[in-house]
Structure 1
């Protein structure tokens, strides 16, 4: 049975599903609590489709049958209720809405996206990627737009702990460096849609030279996912003014941060030494801390002795 996070996957992948499967997904999203109690016949009737289609829907999303699907939905809706999260959070922002409403919508959407991503992350895949990154001679990261920001942040973190890592913002540079990878190296491509041509080309080039290829995407059946050996999925929650591609950044950073921390675990002593060395290198560029009132009082008393 796959990890939880099904509802987030359904929201993200809904537009890409065949029409019959879309109807099943829509019924689950409309009433997840009811789905958790419904029979396969009930769900099929609500969706205006057949039980065979519901069974196919289950298999498309990695469940062996309807019983597993119901357990996943029940688990997720129960967790959401416990956390006092509404399954259908408000994602609309009007031109006159006050800032407190904007804050609630944005915080709720990002929190839900992160929770959905955490629920569906493949920990075995993360373990494999972290082990490969920890011992790689070269790690290449590539993404464009908002995904490029996530790739650049990951490269910064890995460089800080002495992982030979590069983020190539230019597609031609990324391709030529992907061609220099070898078995034991790692290439990580990021694309919310999984359809960014340049990212797909970079992973395909890296795969041709034996590197481990990793896709970070919201669509596990996308062309990017097909080009990668390991796929790590993210979830998004769109809001007004923040379409899916702009909403994926926090989820991407969560997945990448999990890999980073797992790499740091595997290189524990080297990481601690790197932190100490790098902190010392920039220490002179930090302003001294302001003494607290209590510290100043003690200093004055000492000077007065």
Structure 2
């Protein structure tokens, strides 16, 4: 039977143990501590969630706080903070503090001095807004690099390089990212289609065969249409790939291969919009990996497609294109 914490919540050691067992299998060094917290945040409930939110709101203060101080600031108990540490894969609070301190120190030394958590005000000058966006995007790129499993990228590239057909599914902003990937693959001779209409996408997914690839893109991993499309392709034997920010989302659990991105939201760019640039980076890496594995075919296709559109370039200095 679950026993309530001293702070009156019912978050239990059983919950923490369950989350810990599912935590990303990363080395327990200081790399990606805050990334792990953001990734696991949807899994936490009650007191554990309040501790996670407090750490993400002010990581520098968390790295200096005692376990009692962090518990007080998050409205929880020291026992909850201890379970939070173990859910992240740390033996105790001291290890968590060291990890956060090292990560925030790297951020300062890398020049990420803009306070990403600060609200962008309507009166802020564009210079400040630009610095805010650049800092958020730069941090998201580095966090994505820390999260990304290159072995999974390799598996995805091998599957796409050999696929007779690649279907790409996404909605809203993810659809735009999917269309960019379709264009890149198409230019190197990979038969790829990007589907934004669920009816057309389902028809294409239903025609999938073993050896085909279906790529589903969703920041949350909870977009119903994308899940349905990937499930249909999977049921027909296609190899499925998920690109998402949440490794235990429904989309990720459905996929054979999971590629993870990180985000840094700002006031006027919520997570879903902030995910776009990290998604493009991962897909660009995947595209290049596919081109490497089909070098001769890709090079010939790119030359032919470039030559085909060359005549439509603007004439310069009176010379022919």
Q: Same fold (TM over 0.5)?
A: yes
Equivalent residue, structure 2, for 1:294: none
Q: Which has the higher contact order (CA 8 A, sep 6+)?
A: 1
- CA shift at 1:52, angstroms? 7.0
Instruction: Give a deviation string over 1:214-248, Cα, whole Å, max 9, x none.
Output: 11111222111122122222112222222221221
Equivalent residue, structure 2, for 1:21: 48
- CA shift at 1:73, angstroms? 3.6
Return the alpha-carbon distance in structure 2 between the equivalents of residues 54 and 160 of structure 1. Answer: 52
Equivalent residue, structure 2, for 1:231: 258
Calculate the TM-score normalised by the size of structure 2: 0.79
- CA shift at 1:13, angstroms? 5.2
- CA shift at 1:41, angstroms? 8.2
Counterpart pick for 2:245 among 196, 215, 218:
218
The alignment partner of 1:127 has SS state of helix
Counterpart pick for 2:168 among 141, 149, 152:
141
Return the alpha-carbon distance in structure 2 between the equivalents of residues 58 and 181 of structure 1. Answer: 43
CA contact (8 A) 1:6 1:120 kept: no
Return the alpha-carbon distance in structure 1 between the equivalents of residues 102 and 301 of structure 2. Answer: 41
Aligned: 1:283 with 2:310:
yes
Q: Pick which of 97-106 and 144-153 moved more.
A: 97-106
Aligned: 1:2 with 2:26:
yes
CA distance 1:94–1:265, shift in 2 (3 Å): same
Please list every run of 5 or more consecutive structure 1 residues that lacks an aligned counterpart in the other structure.
Answer: 292-305
CA distance 1:149–1:72, shift in 2 (3 Å): farther
CA distance 1:65–1:196, shift in 2 (3 Å): same
CA distance 1:103–1:270, shift in 2 (3 Å): same
Q: Pick which of 139-148 and 45-54 moved more.
A: 45-54
Instruction: Give a deviation string over 1:85-135, Cα, whole Å, max 9, x none.
Output: 148425422222222122112222222222211221111111111111111
Please list every run of 5 or more consecutive structure 2 residues that lacks an aligned counterpart in the other structure.
Answer: 1-24
Return the alpha-carbon distance in structure 2 between the equivalents of residues 185 and 72 of structure 1. Answer: 42
Counterpart pick for 1:109 among 124, 128, 136:
136
- CA shift at 1:263, angstroms? 0.8
Return the alpha-carbon distance in structure 2 between the equivalents of residues 171 and 287 of structure 1. Answer: 38
CA contact (8 A) 1:92 1:239 kept: yes
CA distance 1:198–1:41, shift in 2 (3 Å): same
Q: Pick which of 128-137 and 210-219 moved more.
A: 210-219
Return the alpha-carbon distance in structure 2 between the equivalents of residues 273 and 70 of structure 1. Answer: 53
The alignment partner of 2:311 has SS state of helix
The alignment partner of 1:214 has SS state of strand
Return the alpha-carbon distance in structure 1 between the equivalents of residues 128 and 114 of structure 2. Answer: 18
Aligned: 1:95 with 2:122:
yes
- CA shift at 1:290, angstroms? 4.3
The alignment partner of 1:92 has SS state of coil
Equivalent residue, structure 2, for 1:265: 292
More helix, by proportion? 1
Could you say what the CA RMSD is over the residues aligned between the two structures, in angstroms?
2.8
Calculate the TM-score normalised by the size of structure 1: 0.83
- CA shift at 1:28, angstroms? 3.0
CA distance 1:232–1:39, shift in 2 (3 Å): farther
CA contact (8 A) 1:44 1:54 kept: no
- CA shift at 1:70, angstroms? 5.9
Q: Pick which of 243-252 and 28-37 moved more.
A: 28-37
The alignment partner of 1:285 has SS state of coil
Instruction: Give a deviation string over 1:146-180, Cα, whole Å, max 9, x none.
Output: 00000000010011111111101111111121122
Corresponding pairs, count? 289
Aligned: 1:162 with 2:189:
yes
- CA shift at 1:42, angstroms? 8.0
CA distance 1:22–1:210, shift in 2 (3 Å): same
- CA shift at 1:258, angstroms? 1.1
